[in-house]
Every structure is written in structure tokens, then in C-alpha cells.
Amino acid sequence: MRLDKYISSVTDLSRMQVKRALKSAEVTVNGEVVKEPRTAVSADDEVMFNGELLREAKPRYFMLNKPEGYVCASKDRLNMTVLELLDEDNLESLHVAGRLDIDTTGLVLLTDDGQWSHKITSPNNHCEKTYYVETADPIAPELVELFREGVKLKGELKPTRPAQLDIIHEQAARLSVSEGKYHQVKRMFAYAGNHVELLHRERIGGIVLDERLEPGEYRPLTEQEIALS
């Protein structure tokens, strides 16, 4: 990897700032001052910046309890984004693995590991997600079987994959789906003539939202949770 790209990737410095630092003799590679941005470095090289040893950043994985009113995007002209809730360096390298609507709350995963997030978001992997749902009207018991069989939503060519509906009380339930169609949970209940009043995601694959996280709070995933995706 080029030296300037390496330093930029492990610090908050832009490529232009890195080039200025190189001209000022602030960088050494294996004990020798290096000023050429295109110098190739490997994982075995010892790169020092202002006397501090630099190490290539490891992939990061976070779970966030998303509050209402935030969008799952890197930037948005009108609304606050979930990235604004994180106190981390290099936020621009993080992305959301499994988006939620602005009015939906609960578990959001953020990472800079593209392969890991692909396992979660790829339609081919059928990653199951569980939602807590509250509805405007009572939930008909026959929806348990209907959702298990799959329903053909407006504009879709195929019915939904089998989903598990567990009714908690007459206007609340948990629904587990293994696909990510646009507004799927809301559309499934609308298909049955009901309206979703509250939607909260509790689980993605084997990762369950930490109950200790208040809305807007986040924490790194454990090694075990990372392996569960």
C-alpha cells in the first residue's frame, strides 16, 4: 500500500495533510525519514508519525439502539443520521448493515467491514430479523398461519417468505422475517387491513439488542456477536 494512503487510513488526516507531514519529515519507516508519498509499505513495516507508532486499524463493529427521528444514512440534508450518535474516529468509513425507517427504532449494526455486512444484507443469505410490533387494531389470530404461508404484497412478483408471528396481546406481536423488502413489516400488516403504530427491531441474525442500551446509545459488538452474523 502507498505510504500516504496507509497513514490516511489509520489516522484522521486527509491525503493532502499526510503529504504536508511527509514534506516536514514527520514520518519514518523502519527508523528512516521518508518524504515520498508513493513509498510502498507492508504490514511488517514500522511506520512512525510524530514519534508515534501507527497500526492499521482493525474492522469495527457496533450495535446501536436507534431512536425515532434518525435516518440510516451517511449524510442527509433534512434529518439527523445514526452516525451522528457515534463518538468515533473516521465515521465516514462506517456504514449501516440493515437499515431502518426514520420512525422505526431498535437494533442497528454499523461496521467498516464490507464482507461482514454483506452477509447480513444480501437477500441470498435470508438473515432473519425480529421486530416488536404494535398495531392500531386487534391482530387477527389467523395472521399467524397467513404470514407463515406468505402474502403477496402490492407490486411484488413473489409472496413473502415464511414469517413467524407471535401474538403477545391483541394489539402487540413479534414478527420474524428472513428478507428485507421495502417497508415489509408495515406492508404485511397493511395487507391484513391493519396499521403499524410502533415498530422496534430486537434482533438481526443471532445478534440481540442489548437491553441496557438506552435509545441513542451504542457499544462495540463482542467477538461472539461478530461471529453470530
**Residue 119 to residues 50, 87, 114, 124, 179: CA-CA distances in angstroms?**
39, 26, 9, 9, 12
- CB burial of 68-85 (b: ≥16 within 10 Å; e: otherwise) equals eebbbeeeeeeeebbbeb
Active site annotation includes 101: yes
Phi-psi region of 166 (alpha: psi -120 to 50; beta: other; left: phi over 0): beta
Ramachandran angles phi, psi of 186, nearest 5°: -60, -40
Quote the CA–CA distance of 157 and 135 in Å, as a whole number. Answer: 26
What DSSP state is assigned to residue 6?
Answer: H
Among 12, 44, 87, 101, which one carries the catalytic annotation?
101
Catalytic (active-site) positions: 101
